[in-house]
Amino acid sequence: MDLDDLAWLLSDDGQLLLAEATALVDAEPDPLRAQTALRRTTVPGATPDRTSLALSQAGLRRRAEAKLGALAARMYFTPDALEQATRLSVARHRAARLRAFEAGTVIDLGCGIGGDLVAAAETGALVAGVDLDPVRVALARANLDALGLPGAVQVADATTVDTSPFDVAFADPARRSARGRSFSVDDWTPPWRFVEGLLRRDACVKVAPGIPHELVPDDVEAEWVSDHGEVKEAALWSGRLATVRRRATVLGDGGLATLTEEDDPGAAAVGVRPVGRYLHEPDGAVIRAGLVTAVAAATGGGLLDPHLAYTTSDEAPATPFARGYEVLEELPYREKPLRAALRERGIGRLEIKKRGVDVVPEQLRKRLALSGDTEGTLVLTRVAGEGTALLVRPLR
C-alpha cells in the first residue's frame, strides 16, 4: 500500500468498495472467487489493483480481530504493521498505568499504525505520534479518525524530537535489521543508546520479552506482560513511573494481576522439596521476571529443582500466576517401561510437558505409539537432579 492507495481507499468510492470486499470475505472462503466477484462491482474507479487492495484490507481486518477485537473492523493495516502492532489488551493496560500516573500528554516515538496512540487516547490523554514511514503515519491518522479519537501524527525521526513538552515519552523500537528480526539491541531503531537517554526521564519503552536483566538500568522498572498465558512483551518504566525493579503482569478473562520482587522471599526461603500433591507451572511473564520463588511462596510450596521453573505444594490455592496440576502418580522415566505404563492405563491421547530434560515431545509421542480411549498429561522434568515422569491432571 502507498499513500495514493490509502487516499483512494478512504474516499467515498473506496469505502463502498471496502464494504463490498468485507461482505465477500465474510461470505466467500475462496479468495479467488471473492476476487472474481468483486471485480464485477459497479463502484466507480474500482480497478483490478484497487479491488485487490480492498480485499487485502478486508482480510487484514479479519486477522486483526485476534489482536484488536471489535476495533479492527474500522481500522487500516499493512501486513507488516499488523504483525508488529501491540495487542489491544496489553496497550490498554499500559495506557491505564500512564493514566494512573496522571500522564495527560504522551508522545509516541515510532507510532506505527497507531495502536498505542489509540489506547492512550481512549483514556483521555492528549497524544502525538511520529514515525519515519509516511504510510504508517497516514495509517495512524486514519485509525484515530476512524475511531473518533483526537491526536496528532507526523513524519519525523524520533531521535530528533523534543519530548520535553510531554508528560511521558513512549517508544517501541523496531527490532529488525536487513537480515530480519534481530535480538541485538545494537540493531534497534531507534538504537539502544537513544533508549538509554530516554529512560533518564519519565518514559516507557516496549522491548522484547527476552531482554537480559543486566541490560536494564538500575533505576528502571522492567515489567513482563502476558495475555491469557502468552508472554507478549516487556516494558521498561523510568522516572516517577518506576515503582519496583521487576514486575510480572498477567492479563486474563478475570482482569489483571501483578507480582513484584517485593512478593518474592527468595529461593533460600522456599527451598527445594520433594514432589507434593500439586505441581505449579508459573506463567511465562513470572518466569521472565525471575519471580518463580514468589509463586512457590504464594502456594505454600517449594521448588522441584533450584534451576527449573516448576514449584510443588501439598495444597492447591488458586493463583493467576501459575497453571496448577494434581499429581496422580510417578511413572517410569525410561521410554520402554513408560510406554507399558501408559498403555496399561489406556491412555491414547497424551499431552507432554517438559522442562530441564532433553526430550522432544512430538518425537516421543510418536515412539510411544499409544492407543486407548483416555486422555492424559505427562510432565517430564528433573527432581533432585534426576529425570522424572509425572502423570498429572490439570486443575480447572
What pLDDT shows up at residue 25?
84
Task: Note whether 255 and 280 are same-domain residues.
Answer: no
User: Do both 255 and 273 map to the same domain?
Assistant: no
129: domain CATH number is 3.40.50.150
Torsion angle defined by CA atoms of residues 37, 39, 44 and 49, in that order, rounded to the nearest 10 degrees? 140
| Region 75-92 average pLDDT | 94
Confidence of residue 101 (pLDDT cuts 50, 70, 90): very high
Residue 154, in any domain of the structure: yes
Whether 370 and 225 map to the same domain: the answer is no
pLDDT at 146 over 80: yes
User: What is residue 39's predicted lDDT score, i.e. its pLDDT?
Assistant: 83
377 is a domain residue? yes
pLDDT score for 334: 95
For 214-224, write each residue's pLDDT tens digit: 999 999 999 99
Share of the chain above pLDDT 70, in %: 98
pLDDT at position 257 is 96
Beta strands in 294-344 (DSSP E): 302-303, 311-313, 322-331
- What average pLDDT score do residues 52-70 get? 94
Question: Is residue 46 predicted with pLDDT exceeding 60?
Answer: yes
CA atoms within 13 A on the CB side of 255: 3
pLDDT at position 240: 96
Query: pLDDT tens-digit profile of 157-216?
Result: 999 999 999 999 999 998 765 555 666 777 788 888 999 999 999 999 999 999 999 999
Q: Are 181 and 175 in contact (CB under 8 A)?
A: yes
The rounded distance, in Å, linking the Cα atoms of 282 and 369 is: 30
Is there a single domain that holds both residue 218 and residue 278? no
Domain final residue, candidates 259, 286, 309: 259
Interatomic CA distance for residues 204 and 125, integer angstroms: 15
Give the pLDDT of residue 183: 62
Q: What is the mean pLDDT of residues 84-110?
A: 95
Single residue among 11, 35, 63 that ends a domain in this structure: 63
Contact predicate 334/350, CB 8 Å: no
Residue 229, by phi and psi: left (phi above 0), alpha (psi -120 to 50) or beta? left
Which residue in 302, 289, 303, 283 sits closest to 260, CA to CA?
A: 289
200 & 273 share domain: no
Residue 68 included in any domain: no
What percent of the chain has pLDDT above 90?
A: 85
Say if residue 184 is in the same domain as residue 54: no
Q: Indicate whether 379 pLDDT > 90.
A: yes
Is the residue at 308 inside a domain? yes
pLDDT confidence of residue 317: 79
Mark whether 330 and 237 lie in a shared domain: no
**Domain-located, residue 77:** no
Q: What is the mean pLDDT of the chain?
A: 93
Same domain, 11 and 59: yes
Total number of domains constituting the chain: 3
The residue range of the domain holding 360 is 267-394
Q: Are residues 43 and 122 in the same domain?
A: no
Under a CB-based contact definition with an 8 Å cutoff, are residues 341 and 365 in contact?
no
One domain, residues 313 and 375 = yes
Residue at 71 is within a domain: no
CATH code of the domain containing 321: 3.30.2130
pTM: 0.90
What pLDDT sits at residue 289?
A: 97
Set of cell numbers at residue 21? 470486499
Residue 371: other Cβ atoms inside 10 A: 11
**Does residue 73 form part of some domain?**
no
Q: Judge whether residue 72 has pLDDT over 70.
A: yes
Residue 74 covered by a domain: no
Least confident of 8-12, 27-31, 258-262: 27-31
Asked which of 30, 63, 96 is the last residue of a domain, the reply is: 63
Same domain, residue pair 33 and 98: no
Residues 6+ apart with CB under 8 A from 309: 281, 282, 286, 287, 292, 355
Instruction: Check whether residue 237 and residue 340 sit in a common domain.
Output: no
Please provide the distance, in angstroms rounded to a whole number, between the alpha carbons at the two ends of the chain: 46
